[in-house]
Amino acid sequence: MRLCDLPCKSDQFKIRAEDPLTTAINALARGLHTLLVVDEHDRLRGLITASRVLSLVSALAMNSKLLSYPVSLFVDERATTMHYEYPIEAALQLMAEERKSHLVIVDGLKVVGLLTHRCLLSLISGLEIDLKKLASKDVPTLLTHSSLAEALKVMRKINYYEVPILEEEVVGIVRLSDVISEVIGGWFEKLKLVKVIGKSKLISRGVRSFSEAIELALKEDINLLPVLKDDGSYSFVKLEDLFVHLVKEHGAFKVAETVKLNLRSHQKEGSWRVMVPHVSSR
């Protein structure tokens, strides 16, 4: 099975290099994590990612005119690509080795689609890994009365676009998209007034197994997952780390075979559905 045979390539949002930065900001505020930047001939120019925009948000506070600047000034040109005829195994191996959560599928210089770890994980069932070995307690948390300004500060400190909200137990995850949605109108002062609990993705429970983690990530569209320990305490693990560890522990060939088997099963039952944010660009 080749990369072009996967339905994952629909998880994409393409913007032109000459588009204003506000186009990218609006797309990321709607929950997308990676944007493909192309020229007028659909040739890849690079990427705009949520983590890259995180570094821009504070700059926007000082100079709102940046929103009118072209995307080309902010693009990350270090996109990892692979030809659409390559096998799934090759993509899994490359993504795991380079710790990439996405891979741009190309035909020469032209963009064909975007392969993401989220889409691949939605096709992986029957495989397990030990969450407790990966989960960490050293993740900064917020309280329910914390503000979005505090959330942004923590995100910049840890260079990650999600932060958990923890009282006696996990109650939610605040995402960069939640912050950006308030920034779009230029209301940076509002970030100090808006409480994270009102904007976050609410979480009713932690997870204990890999399969539960994937189900929660896809259902709630989050990447930072709360893991419930046997003693009732919480630790956290990134979805990207789960994907990398899964491929390294089981091997790219076995994971690819699982993907193929589950895809055939979904197609036979007519139940396939890509559980990832999807927006058509034009």
Q: What is the β-pairing status of strands 110-116 and 162-166?
A: unpaired
The three-state (H, E, C) secondary structure of the chain, written as one string: CEHHHCHHHHCCCEEECCCEHHHHHHHHHCCCCEEEEECCCCEEEEEEEHHHHHHHHHHHHHCHHHHHCEHHHCCECCCCEEECCCEHHHHHHHHHHCCCCEEEEEECCEEEEEEEHHHHHCCCCCCCCCHHHHCECCCCCECCCCEHHHHHHHHHHHCCCEEEEECCCEEEEEEHHHHHHHHCCCCHHHHHCCEHHHHCEECCCCECCHHHHHHHHHHHCCCEEEEECCCCCEEEEEHHHHHHHHHHHHCHHHHHHHHHHHHHHHHHHCCCCCCCCCCCCC
The pLDDT score that the predictor gives to residue 62 is 54
CA–CA dist 164, 154 (Å, integer): 10
Per-residue pLDDT at 180 exceeds 80: yes
Task: Determine what percent of the chain is predicted with pLDDT higher than 90.
Answer: 39
Mean pLDDT of 167-180: 88
Per-residue pLDDT at 66 exceeds 80: no
Mean pLDDT of 26-40: 86
- Under the banding of pLDDT at 50, 70 and 90, the label for residue 274 is very low
The pLDDT score that the predictor gives to residue 281 is 37
Average pLDDT, the chain: 84
- Under the banding of pLDDT at 50, 70 and 90, the label for residue 278 is very low
Higher-confidence residue of 174 and 10: namely: 174
Contact 66, 55 (CB under 8 A): no
pTM (two decimals): 0.86
Mind listing the pLDDT tens digit for each residue in 95-143? 999 998 889 999 998 998 889 898 899 888 788 898 888 888 889 999 9
Domains of the chain in start order, with CATH, are 3-126+251-269 (3.10.580.10), 131-243 (3.10.580.10)
CA–CA dist 84, 88 (Å, integer): 10
The pLDDT score that the predictor gives to residue 185 is 62
The pLDDT score that the predictor gives to residue 210 is 92
The pLDDT score that the predictor gives to residue 272 is 44
- Under the banding of pLDDT at 50, 70 and 90, the label for residue 2 is confident
Mean pLDDT of 183-205: 81
Per-residue pLDDT at 262 exceeds 50: yes
Per-residue pLDDT at 152 exceeds 50: yes
- Read off φ and ψ for residue 129, nearest 5 degrees: -140, 160
Per-residue pLDDT at 230 exceeds 90: no
- Under the banding of pLDDT at 50, 70 and 90, the label for residue 169 is confident
